[in-house]
Amino acid sequence: MGLVPLLRKNAVLTTFVDRHLFSVPAVSPIYTSFHRAVFSRTMLLMLSRGINLMETLTIAIDSTGNQYLKDCLERGFRRMREGGGLKDLFAEVPLFCGLFKELALAGEETGALPEMFSLIHEYETEEMNLSIKRFLGLVEPMLILITGIFTGTTLIAMFLPIFRLGEGIR
């Protein structure tokens, strides 16, 4: 059995790792945008099919692959069931802030939640793509350097014995 399935069995460890993945410097913007995009896409699809908000949220929470995010959403969902709105849900989820939160709340007030989640999904997908480009811009030079060092070391290791062989003939 692999290491990842063993780690996934421990709920505390899984939540700890999932929470801290949102704070890894180079990967955090990609990871955050990805989860926002997945959540907004699920909400968009369910709401546009006519499924009510509470059922849609239940499905969206279950489809989340991050245990920390799922725990936050479940706490917010409990607060929302007690008589609140999306504002109460987003109060428990620190990842859903800024434009994401404002557009969703505006959609709730105007009754245009599917349209707002469509805008959120487009925005978060674009943010994720830009974050990936930035990350690759950081990683690419390092990969070129590592490849150059590896190639140079291999060439020196191949030719050094040949040069030493020539020195022994004289």
In a domain, 81, yes or no: yes
Q: What confidence score (pLDDT) does residue 10 get? A: 76
In a domain, 168, yes or no: no
Taking each helix axis as running N to C, give the angle between helix 113-169 and helix 28-48, from 0 to 180 degrees, rounded to the nearest 10: 150
> What is the pTM (predicted TM-score) of this model?
0.80
More confident residue, 140 or 18: 140
Q: What confidence score (pLDDT) does residue 170 get? A: 57
- The answer to whether the beta carbons of residues 163 and 156 sit under 8 Å apart is no
Look at residue 1 and tell me whether its pLDDT is greater than 60.
Answer: no
Q: Rounded distance, CA 145 to CA 104, Å?
A: 44
- Burial label, 42 (beta-carbon count in 10 A; 0-12, 13-18, 19+): buried
Q: What confidence score (pLDDT) does residue 44 get? A: 93
What number is the average pLDDT over the span 127-148?
A: 94
Assign residue 42 the CATH number of its domain.
1.20.81.30
In a domain, 112, yes or no: yes
Contact residues for 70 (Cβ-Cβ < 8 A; gap 6+): 61, 64
In a domain, 63, yes or no: yes
Please tell me the least confidently modeled range out of 56-60, 111-115, 141-145, 161-165: 161-165
- The answer to whether the beta carbons of residues 107 and 123 sit under 8 Å apart is no
In a domain, 37, yes or no: yes
Question: Structurally, how many domains does the chain consist of?
Answer: 1
In a domain, 155, yes or no: no
Q: Using 50, 70 and 90 to split pLDDT, how confident is the model at 111?
A: confident
Q: Using 50, 70 and 90 to split pLDDT, how confident is the model at 141?
A: very high
- The answer to whether the beta carbons of residues 15 and 67 sit under 8 Å apart is yes
Where in the sequence is the domain holding 81, given as residue range(s)?
A: 3-137
What number is the average pLDDT over the span 120-130?
A: 95
Q: What confidence score (pLDDT) does residue 153 get? A: 95
In a domain, 154, yes or no: no
- Burial label, 118 (beta-carbon count in 10 A; 0-12, 13-18, 19+): buried
Q: Using 50, 70 and 90 to split pLDDT, how confident is the model at 35?
A: very high
Look at residue 105 and tell me whether its pLDDT is greater than 60.
Answer: yes
